Amino acid sequence: MSTNNAEPIPLSRQRKCAYCSCVVDSNGRGVFQLAHGWLENRKGGGANTIALPLRRDIYSCHDCVDKLRHGIPWSQMPLFDPREYDDR
């Protein structure tokens, strides 16, 4: 059984990251789930929610999505200490 912050992840919630294949908790904080839906344009621009979401059983870990958000390939290993990219 895999762990999530030292807590065992029940088999029913274990999924593999779509990118790096690490085991993630489908209910865990910071885990992303692929969804399709409708985004409403707001007066101030952008959108803040998905209306009528269609969730898929595809998950990604926070580290992979964080890299991709910053234009870094998910498979690129860090050169120095492993820290969050948002901390820069």
| Residue 16 binned pLDDT confidence (cut-offs 50, 70, 90) | very high
pLDDT at 35 over 90: yes
Separation CA 31–CA 14 (nearest Å): 11
pLDDT at position 81: 63
pTM of the predicted protein model: 0.75
Span 9-35, mean pLDDT?
96
Q: Look at residues 47, 50, 52, 7 and name the one whose alpha carbon lies nearest to residue 25.
A: 7
Residue identified by tokens 């059983």 is 57
